[in-house]
Amino acid sequence: MNDAEPSTTALRVAERRAAHQLFDDPKVLVDPVAVRILAPSDAERLAHSGWRERSPMSIGLRAWMVARSRFAEDELARARDRGTQQYVILGAGLDTFAYRQPADERPLTVFEVDHPATQQWKRRRLADARVPVPTSVRFVATDFESGGLAEELDGAGFDRRAPAFFAWLGVTMYLSDEAIGSTLAFLASTAPGGGVVFDYFLRTSSTNPLERVARAAIAHRVAHAGEPFRTSFDPPELTARMRNLAPAACAEM
């Protein structure tokens, strides 16, 4: 991606979450901020594209996106029941979790981690939409390829001695294997009791023909936007890799 520009794919993901609010019923993820956080022109265009949003490919794509977010937030809820008070969203984009939470007496600090340009864009979108930023939110600017995530989180007040729950959605496929490895190593080094939800692409050889066609179409779009897919995994190999990073934490995988 262009270091001076926000992520195009982050906008596309945000549009899919907003489309879920406009066109799907029942809702997998109820998100009253999803449409508001878009620029007015983007929201208006989306509202008038029902014909496209009702196509099988569009329905399937946003179903995947909202389901992974719902799963991550459900797992976070379980972690909070265990006492976790730190939530780290890696590659936060226009994620709205922190801006749609009901009152809860249990403390939770939300660390939104993303590329500086994307983060600045999000903060402008929040301001323009008059969505208040809770005092519990910490914005952490980083480049995953730099390997400086741990120090940047430390600088934002992250407590490595306390459990934390991490959500890392829609990011790994755009990173180098080295950047993914260093991030996983950091996650494995954090205190027990938290957790992580992340997604990744299967190696093409493990997908069926229809999945290959769909991925090729999406790959063409994101590459044209300057954010090409870079990494995919074989599940057994990835599991073994994670076990090597944190044998005790992965004992029940």
Indicate the pLDDT class of residue 212, thresholds 50, 70 and 90: confident
Instruction: Name the CATH code of domain 8-245 (choices 3.40.50.150, 3.30.565.10, 3.40.190.100, 1.10.1740.10).
Output: 3.40.50.150
What confidence score (pLDDT) does residue 4 get? 57
What is the torsion angle, in degrees rounded to the nearest 10, for the CA atoms of residue 11, residue 30, residue 105 and residue 161? -50
| Nearest 10 degrees: Cα torsion 168, 170, 176, 178 | 10
pLDDT of residue 245: 85
Instruction: List CB contacts of 206: < 8 A, sequence separation 6 or more.
Output: 234, 235
Task: Report the percent of the chain where pLDDT is more than 90.
Answer: 74
If DSSP states are collapsed to H, E and C, what string results for the chain?
Answer: CCCCCCCHHHHHHHHHHHHHHHHCCCCCCCCCCCCCCCCHHHHHHHHCCHHHHCCHHHHHHHHHHHHHHHHHHHHHHHHHHCCCCEEEEECCCCCCHHHCCCCCCCCCEEEEEECHHHHHHHHHHHHHCCCCCCCCEEEEECCHHHCCHHHHHHHCCCCCCCCCEEEECCCHHHCCHHHHHHHHHHHHHCCCCCEEEECCCECHHHCCHHHHHHHHHHHHHHHHCCCCCCCCECHHHHHHHHHHHCCCCCCCC
Q: How far apart are the first and last CA of the chain?
A: 34
Per-residue confidence (pLDDT) for residue 224, from 0 to 100: 85
What pLDDT does 31 receive?
A: 96
**Residues 132-191 pLDDT 10s:** 999 999 999 999 998 899 999 999 999 999 999 999 999 999 999 999 999 999 999 999
Q: Is the pLDDT of residue 221 over 90?
A: no
The mean per-residue pLDDT over the stretch 191-205 comes to 92
pLDDT value at 2 more than 70 = no
Return mean pLDDT, the chain: 91
Total-model pTM: 0.92
Q: What residue spans define the domains of the chain?
A: 8-245
